[in-house]
Amino acid sequence: MSVREEVAAWLAAEWDPARPRKEFVAAVVEAGWAAPRWPRRWFGRGLSDDEGHVVEEEFRRVGAPGSGQDRHNLYAATVLTFGSDALKERFVGPMLRGEVAMCLLYSEPGAGSDLAAVRTRAVADAEDWVVDGQKVWTSSARTADHGLLLCRTDWSVPKHRGLSFFLFPMRQPGVEVRPLRQITGEAEFNEVFLTGARVPDEHRLGGLGEGWRVLQTALAYERSVMGDRARAGRSATGMAAMGDELVGLAAETGRLGDPVVRQDLARVAALRKVNEWNALRAKAELEQGSSSSVMSLGKLAMSRILHESARVRTALAGPRSMLEGPEEPIGDEATFLALNAYFTSIGGGTDQIQRNIIAERILGLPKEYEVDRDVPFSTGARWVRP
């Protein structure tokens, strides 16, 4: 029996849209379809990449959730890649089943675009680490059980070499979460203050001082997810639906025959298609075990698509784009998308950082001079001269 026949037969027996999602996803994980490319020991089936795509196609065909997590579940993938066997035994399954709420504890007020400059510190204390510092722009922090934490464990070495990475328990004394209000009126992001909080050493991902390497893999997964699942409007309808909505809006406003509008629509469609091709290239590299810089192309393209789509939608809405509220849905959506597009230029690494990565690692242009590259972090770059 081929993989396609096997997964189709399993779905025919198990999938029912009326079945509770949590129950069905647990069955998907148990059967090995959630992460089919992973080893059987870690809830996979040891399938090839092509076979994994077949599994995902069959799940999409019937509209069933739960598959493709070996490409999209950045938390489980990071733990699987860098965690101890004990940590993987404890967390990979629950993460795939959606039983563990997670967040990313990376950015800080003085270390956003330059994540290697984080100052949140972890000090060893017997079998634990005591953590003090502040994180910002943390999505889902208020509901998270654990977070992926980047912090400094050694101040005597250059900034990239003194970092470590932990699976950090959020529900403990010493963790304070404060929501940040966005221009759209939402509060998806938070500040997180850590004061004497603790994390066991057994929760460390990767070796001591190897946090930067772990972070690069986690960021690659995050950029892949953002490139694949860009939001169109208030719901995750995807890039293709966004293009269809723009064409429908152009028809609704009587401007589908306008050559300038058609050119704008074609530009959005071209950006979407190129992004799809780049995503396929990046995923192929990632699945071969490399941290692909091509992910930055997809992340940057996603940002440009959302900004360009918001611009076109605003132009089509005309003066109505200045209105908001349920009484004016066209203007309300245009306003929301125009404001919300800016979050995509920041989350997962700013557009400027993506351009630097593309220039240096894809185009091979010379790196900018870094005065603090080889200076102990405790010394600080302010005393260094090129």
* Residue numbers of the chain with a pLDDT score lower than 50: 230-238, 381-386
What does the block give as tokens for 360? Answer: 């240096």
Q: Domain check: are 247 and 349 in the same one?
A: yes
CATH code, domain carrying 329: 1.20.140.10
48 and 132 belong to one structural domain: no
- For the chain, the straight-line distance linking the first and the last C-alpha, in angstroms and rounded, comes to 65
Domain extent at residue 49: 3-72
Number of other residues whose CB lies within 10 A of the CB of residue 18? 4
The domain boundary residue, chosen from 34, 50, 72 = 72
The length of the chain in residues reads 386
In a domain, 184, yes or no: yes
DSSP secondary structure, 173-212, as one string: TTEEEEEE--TTS---EEEEEEEEEEEEGGGB-SSTT-HH
* CATH code assigned at 201: 2.40.110.10
d(CA 36, CA 153): 36
State which of 209, 242, 263 marks the end of a domain. 209
d(CA 293, CA 357): 7
Residue 339, in any domain of the structure = yes
Structure tokens at 84: 């101890």
What are 198's strand-pairing partners? Answer: 130
The pLDDT of residue 209: 96
Whether 196 and 289 map to the same domain: the answer is no
Q: Cα-Cα-Cα-Cα dihedral of 178, 100, 296, 82, to 10°?
A: 120
Instruction: Tell me: do 235 and 307 sit in the same domain.
Output: yes
* Euclidean distance between CA atoms 356 and 351, whole angstroms: 9
Q: What is the pLDDT of residue 383?
A: 43
In a shared domain, residues 250 and 353: yes
Residue 385 pLDDT: 40
Catalytic residues: 222
Query: What per-residue confidence (pLDDT) applies to 136?
Result: 94
Assigned domain for 371 exists? no
Considering the domain architecture, whether residues 204 and 235 belong to the same structural domain is answered as no
Boundary-marking domain end, from 181, 209, 237: 209
Residue 218 forms part of a structural domain: no
What is the Cα 121 distance to its own chain's centre? 24
Residues 168 and 113 in one domain: yes
Are 131 and 7 found together in one domain?
no
| Cβ-count burial 95-133 (b if 16+ within 10 Å, e if not) | bbbbebbbbbbbbbeebbeebbbbbbbbeeeeebbbbbb
Which pLDDT score is estimated for 276? 78
Supply the mean pLDDT for the chain.
87
- Domain total of the chain: 3
Q: Is 94 exposed, middle or buried (0-12, 13-18, 19+ CB in 10 A)?
A: middle
* Token pair listed for 185: 């009126």
For residue 92, give the 3-state DSSP assignment. helix
Same domain, 114 and 193: yes
Residue 154's pLDDT is 96
Q: Is residue 375 part of a domain?
A: no
pLDDT of res. 236:
36
Is there a domain that residue 87 lies in? no
Same-domain status, 239 and 355: yes
- In this structure, is residue 79 part of a structural domain? no
pLDDT of the residue at 67: 96
Domain assignment present for residue 96? The answer is no
Same domain, 178 and 245: no
Whether residue 257 is found in the same domain as residue 338: yes
- Identity of the amino acid at 197: A
Kindly report the backbone phi and psi dihedral angles of residue 193, in degrees, each rounded to the nearest multiple of 5, phi listed first.
-105, 125
